[in-house]
Amino acid sequence: MGNMAITVRGKNIDVTPALKDYVAKRVGKITKYFDGASMGEITAILTVSKGRHIVEVTVPINGILLRGEEATSDMYASIDLVIEKLEKQIEKYKTKLARKLKSGSFKTEFIPATGAAAANDDEFSIVKTKRFAVKPMAVDEAVMQMNLINHDFYVFANADTEEVNVVYRRKDGRYGLIEPEF
């Protein structure tokens, strides 16, 4: 995979060629899982803060964003741990997805949401507004993306209908899909 683009940035640390090399080598361990997949630019941010060596790695693959962060007292150890974490994430979702797609259980597992959860509060205060690009993707991809970032829901543009949809994790561990009705 010679065409892999990796950006290594440092905060409060001089990113030596040796460190850069090490990151590239370790990241190579992840990219082997995605032969021929469209990989975006991989970013590694190395930060030294109060004696902690923090490594944050972002790997965009086929419109899905893998992200891992680790902190130890040694930069090389942090890099190793982050790669390990990302490998586990990839393994988990590749097998989960493969199993779901094979059994065709995906379509039937999407159960429409019944009644929004009633809020007890009379007042609603919005503490944070988040804006993000809504990318067109398949429903199963959105579920994978949601799981990878460890959220309970994920907003995306449904590649089939071109509408904004939300997938979410139900209490029973299954997934729901919310579609707009105009």
Structurally, the chain folds into a number of domains equal to 2
pLDDT value of residue 109? 40
Structural domain includes residue 88: yes
Q: Are residues 11 and 84 in the same domain?
A: yes
Between CA 174 and CA 111 the distance in angstroms is 8
Q: Are residues 78 and 141 in the same domain?
A: no
Q: Are 112 and 177 in contact (CB under 8 A)?
A: yes
pLDDT value of residue 156? 87
**Which tens digit of pLDDT belongs to each residue from 113-128?**
443 444 444 456 666 6
Q: Are residues 72 and 141 in the same domain?
A: no
Between CA 15 and CA 69 the distance in angstroms is 17
Structural domain includes residue 120: no
Between CA 61 and CA 40 the distance in angstroms is 6
Q: Are 142 and 169 in contact (CB under 8 A)?
A: no
Q: Are residues 56 and 131 in the same domain?
A: no
Q: What is the CATH number of the domain that holds 45?
A: 3.30.160.100
Q: Are residues 94 and 140 in the same domain?
A: no
Q: Are residues 143 and 84 in the same domain?
A: no
Q: Are residues 84 and 38 in the same domain?
A: yes
Q: What domain range is 72 assigned to?
A: 6-99
Mean pLDDT by groups of 10 residues along the chain of 182 residues: 75 93 88 69 92 90 81 95 88 71 49 42 61 79 84 86 87 86 76
Between CA 70 and CA 102 the distance in angstroms is 34
Q: What is the CATH number of the domain that holds 167?
A: 3.30.505.50
Structural domain includes residue 61: yes
Q: Are residues 80 and 145 in the same domain?
A: no
pLDDT value of residue 47? 95
Q: Are residues 22 and 88 in the same domain?
A: yes
Between CA 115 and CA 166 the distance in angstroms is 15
Q: Are residues 163 and 89 in the same domain?
A: no
Q: Are residues 81 and 160 in the same domain?
A: no
Q: Are residues 146 and 86 in the same domain?
A: no
Structural domain includes residue 47: yes
